[in-house]
Amino acid sequence: MSEVEDRLTLETTQPFYGRYYTIVIEKCSAFLLDELNDSKMEDHPVALSFINSIIKNSLRSSDLRQIGRNPRFFMPKQAKVFQNQVETWPGFFTSSWIFQRGLYLIIDNISKFLSVESCLSLIEERRMRHDTNFVNREFEGAIVMANYGPHRTYKVHTIKWNMNPQEYIFDQGDERSRTNMVDYFKTAYQVVIKAVHQPLFEIRQKRQNIYLPPELCTLVGIPAKIRENKRIMADIRQSLFQKPPERISSIKDLNRLISNSKEVKEWDLEISLEPDTIEAKILKRPSIYQNNPHQEGGMGGMQQQQSTRSLDDTKILGTCVHQPVNFKKWAIFCLEKDVEHGEYLNDKFYQLSAERKFNIYVDYGDIVELSNKSGIEAFKEAIDDYYMKYVCGKDSKGRQQDKPKESKDLYFFLIIMPDSIKQEHLYTALKNKINTDSPVISQFVSSKTIQKYNDRIYINILR
């Protein structure tokens, strides 16, 4: 194997946005493909990225279409359409992983929901019944797929009602020539924008914001009016179901496609065509124990009688299967703009705890309000302050305690995650913080989820 220099320096020969660049590549890791089967995961994180890149390149060369940056590839030719409004694309997720038994290629079946109508059609339909603020809220944070070029996905920040493809002028190419969006799409993608006065999607990016015409975008996910139709949703769920033999067969077909690809053969990788097997034991179906009140003779009092049933009732969500416990105190942490949602949650919890007969009383919780510019650290500080003041409290002499008194009292924190902070980072940071420094029961819900006003969401939080 020939040695690679520790440092490579490359110079661009053509300007990029009017500038020349020097690219420096430094060697950070070295490994042999033959040795990966005997390696540990933590020893070669770069090796796994390398293997994943080979797999992704092999799939990009196939008829499958990648949506997003993750290794998720779909088969648009096998799409199923429902009510001419939403379609499902079957697909696969792939990844490599090092286990005790060696290096594995992981493949799983997935599906992607896409709106049949363009985003512009959805916007126009909403505008017939709602104002621009309502439509904005529906699309803020939505994922859309561009129906041109490599079909990339983007997260919508907002709709710019004061912009349109005809009047939006920007710099194009290395020569920085000025053009509008209509002419740019005609030249770059051979696509004609028909609605030249439509509003534009604003996409926030680190270097600069970009703008997309909704006419050429598809909403990733199920439109709201479809989610509200239980019959169509049942049909969609049924269409996604695969029997185990069908699922294994489709995975083996993809594995064979990857194994025979030019990219895999160039690196002399050998992939077993048969999936690995493990021994497993099917556990006995669990039973649910319920206390049922019944009338006794004589004194006429109500007593509890215990009964059991097998866990095979699909309508179990409407019942309580645990012993209900009241909270000593609970709080909602949210930004100023989400306070109204926190107040709505308070009302909903109170209402649903009575309606659903959970045998619990949900009192109104405290709402801890943070400024709209708050980040992860501000949430941590607010949780710390509340925990020290209301959970730990002070002793009889007025001294602040650093931990709560030993008791059976339970506390509950609900964090409404704003769209302005990356939710994966916020969840991980705050969950670790609460579990380590402020050990109370906690739940997280996105502000966009609360805005759906679906009772099932509130019941799930209550549980």
pLDDT confidence of 269, banded at 50, 70, 90? Answer: confident
CB 90 within 8 A of CB 111: yes
Q: What is the pLDDT of residues 355-388, one digit of tens each?
A: 655 555 566 788 999 998 888 999 999 999 988 8
Q: What is the pLDDT of residues 182-236, one digit of tens each?
A: 999 998 889 999 999 999 999 988 778 899 999 999 998 877 677 777 777 778 7
Average pLDDT score over residue span 137-141: 86
pLDDT confidence of 307, banded at 50, 70, 90? Answer: low
Chain mean pLDDT for the chain: 80
For residue 346, pLDDT over 80 is answered with no
For residue 301, pLDDT over 60 is answered with no
In this predicted structure, what is the pLDDT of residue 300? 46
Closest CA to 454 of 368, 337, 344, 330: 344
Residues 6 or more apart whose CB falls under 8 angstroms from that of 245 comprise none
Distance, in Å, from the CA atom of 268 to the CA atom of 153, rounded to the nearest integer, reads 33
In this predicted structure, what is the pLDDT of residue 299? 44
Residues 6 or more apart whose CB falls under 8 angstroms from that of 147 comprise 118, 216, 217, 218
Average pLDDT score over residue span 3-28: 82
Neighbours of 426 (CB within 10 A): 19
Q: Is pLDDT larger for residue 302 or for residue 239?
A: 239
For residue 54, pLDDT over 50 is answered with yes
pLDDT confidence of 120, banded at 50, 70, 90? Answer: very high
* CATH classification number, 325-462, choose in 3.40.50.150, 3.40.50.2300, 3.40.1670.10, 1.10.3210.10: 3.40.50.2300
Average pLDDT score over residue span 288-302: 52
Closest CA to 215 of 188, 187, 185, 183: 185
Domain with CATH 3.40.50.2300 in the chain: 325-462
Distance, in Å, from the CA atom of 88 to the CA atom of 78, rounded to the nearest integer, reads 9
